[in-house]
Amino acid sequence: MARRVQVADFLTVPATPCYDRVLMNPPFTRGTDMAHVTHALRFLTPDGLLVSVMSWVVTEQTRSTAAFRQLVEHRGGLVEALPARAFAESGTTVGTVIVTIPATRPADAQPTV
């Protein structure tokens, strides 16, 4: 149950690390999913976990995805492919993945991308 609803551009909201879990489905256009996820990580408590639907593009090795991929690896995150057309019923056929990133890297983390 929501305790407070705030209407704002998420990327401008000051981050306070007060959430144990962040679940999200950010916009994918022009890599904005990476910006949203990176910002959302700042809201996690030290033992927190973020899980997000993201565009398949984050799995490609390009200059635009390099920093994000390094972040996921550094934190021991996990990137899992979803079935093709997983959200076709909702009107999009964009390839998607589920990205899971801990607030801090677990000692036994084995990143999988």
Condensed to tens digits (0 to 9), the pLDDT of residues 44-81 reads 999 999 999 999 999 999 998 999 999 999 999 999 99
Structural domain boundaries, residue 32? 19-102
Judge whether 28 lies within some domain.
yes
CA dihedral 44, 45, 46, 47 (to 10 degrees): -90
Number of domains in the chain: 1
The answer to whether residue 55 is domain-embedded is: yes
Residue 11 lies in a domain: no
Q: Tell whether 8 is covered by a domain.
A: no
Pseudo-torsion of CA 20, 71, 80, 22, nearest 10°?
Answer: 20
pLDDT of residue 92: 83
Q: Answer whether residue 107 shows pLDDT above 80.
A: no
pLDDT at position 2 is 62
Give which of 107, 103, 109, 105 is closest to 45, Cα–Cα: 103
> What CA–CA distance (Å, rounded) separates 19 from 30?
27
CATH of the domain at 70: 3.40.50.150
6 in any annotated domain: no
How many other C-beta atoms can be found within 10 angstroms of the C-beta atom of residue 57?
19
> Would you say the C-alpha torsion 11, 17, 18, 23 has a positive or negative sign?
positive
C-alpha–C-alpha distance, residues 46 and 97, integer Å: 24
In the chain, % of residues over pLDDT 90? 69
Residue 4 has pLDDT above 70, yes or no: yes
pLDDT in tens, 14-26: 999 999 999 999 9
